[in-house]
């Protein structure tokens, strides 16, 4: 067999493998969606059946227990009273303001057998994640926040673990900090849409994955090295469209040499993103230095079809006033964001939101 034939065969085999992998992925997605739809309909039927009962609480407990026994004997594990309660709660959470009161009141004698119309309505809800994802999502009390995480989990193919991490790091609340009312509303209908440099910036960034305790002593080199060691996690924290370019990128002019800590490229914004790390409080000199880096990249590195460079000074602490008076009023390129090495509490984020509102 010639090398040309071997190459041809390898390409052909690869195409078959890709086809099978794609088919398997589609089967898994279809099975997950069917399961979620089924659980939603079971939840709906449970709620409607309980509303038929005169003593709702006692009747509900009894019907759940009896149904659990029947389904367990018929299908095995997975139908405990706890699981059935979760299906009921799933329906209640995802049918808010849609069908529960009006639909049931208009037709209280509706058959428990699902019609094609029932299935069509449920499919239109576009449940695109796994049941495990929805078990996490339905615990989020704020509807707008829940919708945001659902959209982002689907768009970014988050695992359940990654969804939990993004929620624990309060991604939604951190994005709300830097957005006006219209932009906040957009988060719950479209997810995170990156159209301007500000859309790609978070404040604070949460870097709990690097494993450095909040009050431990470490250098900027230590912080940089840990971010490189956990680059995949850092890219997820940075957000959509980021790719890694370089670390300690050297730039030189007039016999002077400077090094930019980290260089990324954002494919959505089509621009370079420069990051400098500061383990203490940010100074106006730090912002001035980043402005120089940004100017250099704009004039010497970026191509004609690329957008202006973005610079982020990632610091442990900052004075909003120092940032405000150092940067120009129409600034769209240089940003200062705090970072945390532990997951923030809800109280901390509420305090940050209130502080940011009062500063505007």
Question: How many Å from the N-terminal Cα to the C-terminal Cα in the chain?
Answer: 72
Distance CA 55, CA 74 (A): 28
More confident residue, 348 or 24: 24
More confident residue, 356 or 253: 253
Contact 338, 318 (CB under 8 A): yes
> pLDDT-derived band of residue 104, with 50, 70 and 90 as boundaries?
very low
More confident residue, 329 or 52: 329
Phi, psi of 26, rounded to the nearest 5 degrees? -65, -40
pLDDT at 40: 93
> pLDDT-derived band of residue 11, with 50, 70 and 90 as boundaries?
confident
> pLDDT-derived band of residue 355, with 50, 70 and 90 as boundaries?
low
Distance CA 133, CA 149 (A): 10
Q: Give pLDDT tens digits for 12-36.
A: 778 878 888 888 877 877 888 889 9
Distance CA 289, CA 294 (A): 9
pLDDT at 54: 52
Segment 77-101 mean pLDDT: 79
pLDDT at 357: 59
pLDDT at 123: 44
pLDDT at 57: 58
Residue 318, CB half-sphere, CA atoms under 13 Å: how many? 29
Under 8 Å CB-to-CB from 343, ≥6 apart: which residues?
Answer: 168, 169, 170, 206, 208
Distance CA 150, CA 138 (A): 10
Q: Domains of the chain by range and CATH?
A: 3-128 (no CATH), 197-343 (3.40.1350.10)
Segment 104-114 mean pLDDT: 38
pLDDT at 153 over 80: yes
pLDDT at 275: 97
pLDDT at 109: 38
Phi-psi region of 259 (alpha: psi -120 to 50; beta: other; left: phi over 0): beta
């Amino acid at each position: 067999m010639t090398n040309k034939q071997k190459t041809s065969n390898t390409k052909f085999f690869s195409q078959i493998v890709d086809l099978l992998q794609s088919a398997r992925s589609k089967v898994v997605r279809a099975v997950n969606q069917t399961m979620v739809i089924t659980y939603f309909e079971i939840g709906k039927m449970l709620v409607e059946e309980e509303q038929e009962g005169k003593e709702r609480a006692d009747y509900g407990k009894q019907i759940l227990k009896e149904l659990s026994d029947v389904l367990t004997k018929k299908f095995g594990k997975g139908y405990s009273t706890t699981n059935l309660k979760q299906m009921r709660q799933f329906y209640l959470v995802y049918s808010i303001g849609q069908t529960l009161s009006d639909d049931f009141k208009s037709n209280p004698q509706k058959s428990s057998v699902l019609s094609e119309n029932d299935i069509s309505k449920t499919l239109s809800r576009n449940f695109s994640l796994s049941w495990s994802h929805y078990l996490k999502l339905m615990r989020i009390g704020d509807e707008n926040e829940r919708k945001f995480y659902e959209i982002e989990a689907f768009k970014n193919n988050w695992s359940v673990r990654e969804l939990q991490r993004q929620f624990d790091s309060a991604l939604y609340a951190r994005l709300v900090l830097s957005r006006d009312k219209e932009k906040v509303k957009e988060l719950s209908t479209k997810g995170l849409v990156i159209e301007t440099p500000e859309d790609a910036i978070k404040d604070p960034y949460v870097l709990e994955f690097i494993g450095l305790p909040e009050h431990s002593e470490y250098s900027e080199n230590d912080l940089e090295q840990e971010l490189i060691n956990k680059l995949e996690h850092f890219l997820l924290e940075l957000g959509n469209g980021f790719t890694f370019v370089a670390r300690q990128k050297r730039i030189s002019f007039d016999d002077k040499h400077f090094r930019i800590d980290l260089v990324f490229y954002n494919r959505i914004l089509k621009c370079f993103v420069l990051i400098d790390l500061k383990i203490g409080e940010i100074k106006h000199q730090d912002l001035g230095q980043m402005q120089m880096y940004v100017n250099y990249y704009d004039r010497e590195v970026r191509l004609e079809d690329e957008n202006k460079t973005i610079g982020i000074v990632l610091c442990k602490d900052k004075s909003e006033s120092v940032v405000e008076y150092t940067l120009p009023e129409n600034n769209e390129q240089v940003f200062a964001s705090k970072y945390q090495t532990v997951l923030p509490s809800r109280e901390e984020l509420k305090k940050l939101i209130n502080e940011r509102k009062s500063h505007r």
